[in-house]
Amino acid sequence: MTRGAPQTTAMRKRFSSVCSSSSAEEDGAGLYDSLPLSATDPPSEQEHPCAALLCCHRVQDSLLSSNSSFTGYRGILNWIIILLVLTHAHLFLENFIQKYLYFFLAANMFAITALLVERSQEKGMLSPTNGHRLHLTNLGVLLLFPAAVIVHEHTLSTGGAFFSIWFSTALGMKLYSYQETNRWYRQAHLTDAERDKNVSVAQKAPNEQLTFQDLYYFLFAPTLCYQRDFPCTPKVCINKLLHSLLEMVIVIQIMVGIVQQWIEPIFQRSQNSFSDMDITMRVELLVGLVAPTHFLWLLLFFLSHSYLNFWAELMRFGDRHFYGDWWNATTLVTFWKNWNIPFQKWCHRHVYTRLVEKNVPPSRAELLVFLMSAALFEYMIALPLHSCRLWIFLVMLFELVVAVFLANYFQGNYGNSLVCLCLLLGPLLAVITYFHDHYISFRHHSHQSSSSPLTSDHRLPSAVFVQPQ
């Protein structure tokens, strides 16, 4: 026993040295790799045959601790994205496929009609006048049909009404740009044919751009202005796609939280619509809604940023100048030109330029474009809520008066502060009053339906179906 004790102590020291040396080199080895033995080592310093199995611990920190230098969290991000997508899949199946599938199928008919009209004009089967009339008829039906359904079909949900009117408006603007731009291309070809009298228009090569692929690329691209051969990036970056998708999911959850925890409690304390309140109650309501409404608008702006960049990356669309630095604007005019670049480009290209070509003074053309945008904003908000009171339109006119008469007095930081004040107290509050009155109307309708035993079975499901989303 006394002779075995020194040998045991020596073996422990040898195993400890082996464990410490193997721990220092363990990071560079594989999971089941073993350290090779050196043939030149003396027998007293050789490792035990089972040293790799006996020494399985070393000094190290947990990966999620503050002392750890671990940064590989990409798998967790992918896990969260997949989980969020799967948890919202049932909402997509319920709201998109069941309610909007037929709407998308009908929208394809308008797009195909526009393409067929362009092909007929390109082949000389339709005159420019008749082709233009057919385009206007196609766009008129596209814009009026959803509006008629919203007005006469009260069972349509508020979210569905907003989606249909906004989608049809964007599609109408795209198709108008599509036919207008192709007309410009044809005019350029006619000019070339007139210059070269030996070549007729019929002898020119057919337009290879009038294809379904070209049309649907434009319809899905994040732009309202058509052109041939859009600038494209070399490839799709999957990391950017996932990043934009995660941003959209997170921002939507925050917006829902603000609506449920901040805005809806303010609505619940109201008993009357905004138009029936006295001046004190109106001021109190508006003051309470300034902050959440503005935060909601900022989140909506960031949501549009993520949404547009998602589609741009998916379509490899190169021009991603969707907005300027509107937060640095020193005048309201600068803000209007920078906060929505795609819409601004469309207005300048297809409305302002055409008005100037018809000898309309530039200042008057700018005024007409502004009035058109204000009326369109009123239309897209008021119609789905069944509440056309012109408050949004009038507030935007008031901002125009402020921009004209106070621009020379508020410059630099003072001008930027005026722009921020108009954002806080401008059309956003008018929009939220529309939603407030719609919420009050729905609550009263639901209360009356539930309190009537004879009509509750028939009217309550319809009332629930039109609940604001």
Q: Residue 216: CB partners within 8 Å, gap ≥ 6?
A: 111
Q: Residue 359: CB partners within 8 Å, gap ≥ 6?
A: none
Determine the 3-state secondary structure of 40 from DSSP.
coil
What is the structure's pLDDT at 413?
A: 87
One-letter amino acid identity for 164?
S
Mean pLDDT of all residues in 407-416: 84
Give the confidence band of 89 by pLDDT, cuts at 50, 70, 90: low
- DSSP H/E element including 459: helix 456-465
Percentage of residues of the chain with pLDDT beyond 70:
75
411 pLDDT higher than 50: yes
Bridge partner residues of 232 (DSSP): 317
Tokens for 63, please give them.
Answer: 């990966």
Q: What is the C-alpha separation between 160 and 438, in angstroms, rounded?
A: 15
User: What DSSP letter does each residue of 63-84 carry, written as one string?
Assistant: TTSTT------HHHHHHHHHHH
What is the structure's pLDDT at 76?
A: 77
Mean pLDDT of all residues in 156-164: 83
CB 333 within 8 A of CB 410: no
What is the structure's pLDDT at 198?
A: 43
What is the structure's pLDDT at 207?
A: 57
What is the structure's pLDDT at 217?
A: 94
Domain coordinates of the chain in residue numbers?
94-220, 238-448
Q: What is the C-alpha separation between 242 and 357, in angstroms, rounded?
A: 45
- DSSP H/E element including 169: helix 158-195
Tokens for 205, please give them.
Answer: 């090569």
Q: What is the pLDDT of residues 107-141, one digit of tens each?
A: 899 999 999 999 998 888 888 889 999 999 999 99
Closest CA to 227 of 341, 345, 97, 309: 345
CB 436 within 8 A of CB 277: no
What is the structure's pLDDT at 31?
A: 43
192 pLDDT higher than 70: no
Give the confidence band of 395 by pLDDT, cuts at 50, 70, 90: very high
47 pLDDT higher than 90: no
Give the confidence band of 189 by pLDDT, cuts at 50, 70, 90: low
Give the confidence band of 464 by pLDDT, cuts at 50, 70, 90: very low
User: Looking at per-residue confidence, does 276 or 319 come out higher?
Assistant: 319
Q: Residue 29: CB partners within 8 Å, gap ≥ 6?
A: 35
What is the structure's pLDDT at 274?
A: 85
CB 263 within 8 A of CB 296: yes
280 pLDDT higher than 90: no
Q: What is the pLDDT of residues 320-360, one digit of tens each?
A: 999 998 998 988 989 998 999 999 999 999 999 999 999 99
User: Looking at per-residue confidence, does 186 or 56 come out higher?
Assistant: 186
Q: Provide the mean pLDDT of the chain.
A: 79
Q: What is the pLDDT of residues 421-439, one digit of tens each?
A: 888 888 888 999 999 888 8
What is the structure's pLDDT at 10?
A: 55
CB 270 within 8 A of CB 440: yes
Task: Return left, alpha or beta for 325; rule: phi > 0 is left, psi -120 to 50 is alpha, else beta.
Answer: beta
